[in-house]
């Protein structure tokens, strides 16, 4: 579940049938590989499209991007082998494994998703602690993986839901709309989404409140996979007027244990050798590198990925 402006469509038997037909078309001419991702218009769909383009043009691998209803569909699709590759956030992949989706294996971290609470520049609020007593979006009933991330960010300032005035919302779009309409004092979103820029223009300026690094131990007790990363003012970071610490978690490329080692190795090798082409389609892949991709997660890495990292003397990095 990425945090983006998006719409969900149901996955029907017809959808699955058409995907199967597409995967089987072409016969012996060329094998087609399915890449499960979020719907068109999302950050992850663009990432999958960039990867598919590079794999096809540089390695002759016919990768078919398969948009789905959401992360709760992507994870079991990949685990069962209905799709060869998937992209989802670290929480969803680990939740899927914990809930019985077998044979999930990580290929590598693709890029970070940087999230947090935005407030009006006129509010005077600059840090998470300033949200105490304020109307803050919570719940996220349609985006359940966000709820622990929200609680983790509050915990960095020693806050819980008892310290704020909860504004229950189903998703990040509603949180942004409630803020813009004056029904909330903040909204929760990720950098890079068009909605953030829209709200900034609507209310006359926003800023993201800064996370206190000293509170990350408390945050990790709620959500293990979050870490801090510094962002600087720039076109992609609306609401940042100085370098600040931002709560982040990774979007992971993953596959099934049944996927051949050579396929996974070739995917990584091709992508790292053609990073410039990836970034030309999806700029957030600028941070994609062997060092960034290999981190200490609980879901095992695929043997093909481990072979690549071993050959290139890359050791798994701890989350910051």
Q: CB burial class (10 A; 0-12, 13-18, 19+) of residue 7?
A: exposed
Q: Is residue 265 part of a domain?
A: yes
Please tell me whether residues 205 and 107 are part of one structural domain: no
- Residues 115, 121, 123, CA angle at the centre, nearest 5°? 105
- Residue ending a domain, among 249, 275, 299, is 249
- Comparing 20-34, 135-149, 161-175, 303-317, the range with the smallest average pLDDT is 20-34
Percent of the chain with pLDDT over 70: 90
pLDDT attached to residue 142? 67
Please tell me whether residues 155 and 77 are part of one structural domain: no
Distance, CA of 147 to CA of 181 (rounded, Å): 22
Q: Is residue 274 part of a domain?
A: yes
Please tell me whether residues 107 and 134 are part of one structural domain: no
What's the rounded mean pLDDT across residues 9-30? Answer: 43
Please tell me whether residues 132 and 187 are part of one structural domain: yes
Percent of the chain with pLDDT over 90: 73
Please tell me whether residues 119 and 245 are part of one structural domain: yes
Distance, CA of 170 to CA of 181 (rounded, Å): 16
Please tell me whether residues 102 and 142 are part of one structural domain: no
- Residue ending a domain, among 198, 230, 249, is 249
Q: Is residue 156 part of a domain?
A: yes
3-state SS of the chain? CCCCCCCCCCCCHHHHHHHHHHHHCCHHHCCEEEEEECCCCCHHHHHHHHHHHHHHHHHCCEEEEEECCCHHHHHHHHHHCCCCEEEEEHHHHHHHHHCCCCCEEEEEEEEEEEEEEEEEHHHCCCEHHHHCCCEEEEECCCCCCHHHHHHHHHHCCCCCHHHCEEEEECCHHHHHHHHHCCCCCCEEEECCCHHHHHHHHHHCCEEECECCHHHHHHHHCCCCCCEEEEECCCCCCCCCCCCEEEEEEEEEEEEECCCCHHHHHHHHHHHHHCHHHHHHHCHHHHHCCHHHHCECCCCCECHHHHHHHHHCCCCCECCC
Please tell me whether residues 22 and 36 are part of one structural domain: yes
Do residues 134 and 187 lie in contact, with contact meaning Cβ atoms separated by under 8 Å? no
Question: 171 lies in which domain range?
Answer: 114-249
* 161-174 per-position pLDDT tens digit: 999 999 999 888 88
pTM (two decimals)? 0.77
Please tell me whether residues 95 and 169 are part of one structural domain: no
> Where residue 78 sits, what CATH number does that domain have?
3.40.190.10
Select from 4, 224, 12, 3 the least CA-distant residue to 98: 224
Is the pLDDT at 13 greater than 50? The verdict is no
Do residues 46 and 281 lie in contact, with contact meaning Cβ atoms separated by under 8 Å? yes
Contacts of 249 (CB under 8 A, 6+ apart): 89, 90, 91, 112, 113, 115, 149, 223, 225, 226, 227
Q: Is residue 318 part of a domain?
A: no
* 24-64 per-position pLDDT tens digit: 444 434 699 999 998 776 778 889 999 999 999 999 999 99
Q: Is residue 88 part of a domain?
A: yes
Q: Is residue 21 part of a domain?
A: yes
* 100-133 per-position pLDDT tens digit: 999 999 999 999 989 999 999 999 999 999 999 9
Please tell me whether residues 101 and 131 are part of one structural domain: no
pLDDT attached to residue 320? 67
Q: Is residue 7 part of a domain?
A: no
pLDDT attached to residue 40? 79
Q: Is residue 319 part of a domain?
A: no
* 173-182 per-position pLDDT tens digit: 889 999 999 9
Distance, CA of 258 to CA of 264 (rounded, Å): 11
Domain count, the chain: 2
pLDDT attached to residue 14? 38
Please tell me whether residues 220 and 288 are part of one structural domain: no
In this structure, the strands spanning 206-208 and 104-120 are antiparallel
pLDDT attached to residue 11? 43
- The dihedral region occupied by 65, where left means phi > 0, alpha psi between -120 and 50, and beta the remainder, is beta
Structure-token match 């096809």, residue found? 56
- Residue ending a domain, among 249, 268, 287, is 249
Distance, CA of 156 to CA of 219 (rounded, Å): 6
Using pLDDT thresholds of 50, 70 and 90, give the confidence band for residue 192: confident
Please tell me whether residues 47 and 148 are part of one structural domain: no
Please tell me whether residues 102 and 124 are part of one structural domain: no
Distance, CA of 240 to CA of 205 (rounded, Å): 10
Is the pLDDT at 21 greater than 70? The verdict is no
């Amino acid at each position: 579940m990425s945090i983006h402006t998006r719409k969900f469509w149901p996955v029907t038997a017809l959808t699955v049938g058409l995907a199967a037909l597409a995967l089987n078309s072409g016969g012996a001419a060329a094998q087609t590989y399915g890449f499960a991702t979020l719907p068109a218009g999302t950050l992850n769909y663009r990432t999958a499209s960039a990867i598919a383009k590079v794999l096809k043009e540089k390695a002759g691998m016919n990768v078919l991007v398969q948009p789905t209803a959401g992360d709760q569909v992507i994870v079991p699709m990949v685990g069962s082998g209905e799709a060869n590759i998937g992209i989802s956030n670290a929480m969803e992949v680990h939740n899927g494994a914990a809930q019985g989706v077998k044979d999930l294996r990580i290929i590598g971290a693709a890029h970070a998703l940087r999230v947090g609470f935005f407030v009006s520049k006129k509010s005077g609020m600059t840090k998470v602690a300033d949200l105490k007593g304020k109307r803050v979006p919570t719940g996220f009933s349609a985006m359940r993986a966000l709820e622990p991330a929200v609680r983790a960010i509050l915990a960095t300032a020693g806050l819980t839901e008892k310290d704020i005035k909860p504004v229950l919302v189903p998703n990040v779009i509603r949180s942004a709309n409630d803020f813009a309409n004056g029904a909330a004092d903040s909204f929760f979103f990720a950098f890079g989404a068009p909605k953030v820029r829209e709200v900034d223009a609507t209310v006359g300026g926003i800023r993201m409140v800064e996370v206190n690094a000293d509170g990350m131990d408390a945050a990790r007790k709620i959500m293990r996979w979050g870490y801090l990363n510094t962002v600087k003012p720039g076109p992609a970071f609306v609401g940042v007027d100085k370098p600040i610490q931002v709560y982040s978690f990774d979007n992971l490329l993953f596959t099934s244990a049944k996927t051949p080692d050579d396929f996974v190795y070739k995917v990584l090798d091709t992508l790292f050798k053609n990073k410039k082409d990836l970034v030309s389609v999806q700029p957030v892949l600028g941070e994609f590198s062997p060092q960034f991709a290999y981190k200490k997660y609980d879901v095992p890495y695929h043997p093909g990925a481990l072979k690549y990292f071993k050959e290139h003397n890359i050791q798994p990095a701890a989350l910051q």
